[in-house]
Structure 1
Amino acid sequence: MAETWQDHTGAVAGGADSVERVADAIVFAEPRSKLTRFALMAFSAGAGVVAAHYFAAGVALETSTMWLLIGIAFAGGLLSTWSPCGYSSVCLLRPNGTFSLRNVLAWSPTLVAHAVGYAFGALVIGGTLGLVGSALGVQAYLPYTLPIFAVLLVVYGAHQFGFIKVPYPQRRCQVPHDARQRFPKWMIGLLYGFSLGLNYLTYVQTPLLYAVTGAALFSGSLAFAVGIFLVFNLGRFLPLVLNALPLTDASITGWLARHQENAALTDAILLVGSGFALGAMLLA
């Protein structure tokens, strides 16, 4: 029997300007104990130090820091969409009809347009931060900003682990879901890609976005700033590819909901581990 694609139907009433409003980053349905979370945090710190020792030994600090930031940028982008909340946007771009190669090919312009939108978003936000950083000459202050950067990664990791509460400024909205009733699907893909690719117009559930933003600004490099946001947005874009598979919206969203806590813990582990890894590289 043919597998039928399903559209998400969670649009909010209220006209063309209606948007999906979402909760804060962490919603633990079955939270792990404080002891378990503390053990995971300690493990993350140790793993970060060990990784820095083995993979950054003999490597210039600038190079090792760059690759660390690129790695967490991709992971952060993936985690930002890999949730029921994040996927609720891209599932609106699902192909029409039953699963078939013909329908997937007919849907491919939407996929391409969505990718182009993300690329433009990265160009705008990365380019702006890169130009501002370059104009201010912030790269000269890297010896002072990198230790602060490492501490902030750990602090936001502790936030994600649920031990402390720190400011998490975001526009807690999603893209307007009723746009699918006003535009062709490929245009929706382009508009969604651009708005999501700017990252601050909609809610992003991982503070790794702040790490990417800080890296883009304080690099003082236009190329690096655009590049790191392209990597982040690549991670955000990839879950849309799931819509080319014979999987229902309900099955994907259900899996994401069941693993929501694991995603938040993964985010916390990456933040703490990266902070300690950067600290170890600075002290080496």
Structure 2
Amino acid sequence: MGMNMGATVGSSRPSHTYAAETCVPDAYHFSKSQSTGTRLVMMVIAIVTGLFAGKLMHDTLSMQSAFTGMFVLLAFVGGLLSTWSPCGYSSLSLLRPAGRYSLGAVFRWAPTFFTHAVGYAIGAVVLGSLLGFTGWLLFSEVPTQYSIAGLAILAIAYGAHQFGFLSMPYPQRRAQVPHDARFRFRSSVIGLLYGFSLGMNYLTYVQTPMLYIVTGVALFSGGVKAAVIAIAIFNIGRCLPVAVNFLPVKDQSVQAWLARWQESAVEIDGFLLLAIGSAALMLLAL
């Protein structure tokens, strides 16, 4: 799947839509490459790891510090893992310095990376504000422990989804950033447009359910500021991989590396969801 995506986004012909929009898989199920027993062992290890981590955090950290640390880890890594999706491939392939690699080419390309980051920041403010205000209206009276427990259970369920043991709803707009924009706008404008589209997170497809946990935290955060911060952490993880274009690496090498680590990305995704969900429940139970 990764190779096919890389080939698609690396094509030089205009593409107004992603050719596989209607059949983008929600996750790469390990049933395609790992036995049921192997996947089950991975899940058990993740849950046990989470339970031990929850007990350790209970003994060494305050409750607030523990939950904050777990969320920051999940949100940031979730942003990084979103690179393994059609739009992640697109950003890395299309937002590249022009011509042969040189310091001059990188210097001329730097504004594109800057505007791309600005687009992500705007997306975080817009989406975070919407979620924070909605949460303040609808969920401000929900006890914190209830919301944490609900999100922890949701994380475990989506962890099982990533390992192919449970089918969870995946509300996403199955669309990719518009490739033809590169023929109509200069690079820095494209960076801004792509950053905003991806920074809104629900305007394009995101191949990690960690987004739903981040969304839930933003909704239950109790205010706009906290919600914006929650989305911003996820978006920082989404934006940073584009910085690889500062390095003297070929696009084909990057795409091949992503394809090679496709399965491991989903494994990390599921493992963290299960471990952090289990750790949160352990903290609440102690």
Same fold (TM over 0.5): yes
Question: Quick check: 1:166 aligned with 2:168?
Answer: yes
2:272 is the alignment partner of 1:270: yes
RMSD: 2.0
**C-alpha offsets along residues 167-190 of structure 1, whole Å, 9 cap, x if unaligned?**
111111110101000001100000
Q: In 2, are the aligned partners of 1:46 and 1:273 still within 8 Å (CA)?
A: yes
Would you say the 8 A contact 2:95–2:191 is kept in 1?
yes
Deviation at 1:10, TM superposition (A): 6.4
Equivalenced residues, count = 276
1:60 offset after TM fit, Å? 3.1
After TM superposition, give the deviation of residue 120 of structure 1 in Å: 0.4
3-state SS of paired residue (1:140): coil
**SS of match in other structure, 1:57:** helix
Alpha carbons of structure 1 residues 139 and 246: separation in structure 2 relative to 1, 3 Å: farther
The answer to whether the 8 A contact 1:83-1:260 is kept is no
Matches within 5 A, 1:108-257: 108-138=110-140, 140-257=142-259
Q: 2:25 corresponds to which residue? A: 24
8 Å CA contact 2:160, 2:270 repeated in 1: yes
- Is the contact made by 2:112 and 2:191 (CA closer than 8 Å) also made in structure 1? yes
Aligned in 2, Cα 1:99/1:62: closer, same or farther, shift over 3 Å?
Answer: same
- Write out per-residue CA displacement over residues 176-228 of structure 1, whole angstroms, 9 at most, x where no aligned residue: 10100000110000000000000000000000000000000011122211111
Counterpart of 1:37 (choices 36, 39, 42) is 39
Paired position in structure 2 for 1:3 = none
* 2:170 alignment partner, SS class: coil
Q: Does residue 101 in structure 1 map to residue 93 in structure 2? A: no
Relative to structure 1, the CA distance from residue 73 to residue 173 in structure 2 (aligned partners, 3 Å threshold; closer, same or farther) is: same
Residue identity matched to 1:23: V
Matched, 1:52 2:54: yes
CA distance in 2 between partners of 1:256 and 1:126 (Å): 29
- The 4+ residue runs of structure 1 with deviation greater than 6 A are none
Q: Could you tell me how far 1:95 is from its partner in structure 2?
A: 0.4
Give the deviation of 1:56 after TM superposition. 3.6
Q: Any conservation in 1 of the 2:123–2:200 contact (CA below 8 Å)?
A: yes
> Displacement, 1:83?
4.8
Aligned equivalents of 2:57 and 2:133: distance in 1? 31
- Alignment counterpart, residue 90 of structure 2, candidates 73, 88, 92: 88
Equivalents in 2 of 1:161, 1:137: separation in Å? 31
The 1:116/1:70 distance shift into structure 2, 3 A limit, reads: same
Mapped to 2, the partners of 1:119 and 1:109 lie a distance apart of: 15
Matched-pair contact (CA < 8 Å) for 2:128–2:229: yes
Question: SS of the counterpart of 1:269?
Answer: helix
- Superposed CA offset, 1:82-140 (max 9, x none): 45652223320100011111110010000000000000000000111112212335253
Q: TM-score, normalization: structure 1?
A: 0.91
Distance 1:85 1:45 in 2: 31
Change (3 A) 1:32 1:220: same
Unaligned 5+ residue runs, structure 1? 1-5
Matched-pair identity in %: 46
Structure-2-length-normalised TM-score: 0.91
Question: SS at 2:238's partner residue?
Answer: helix
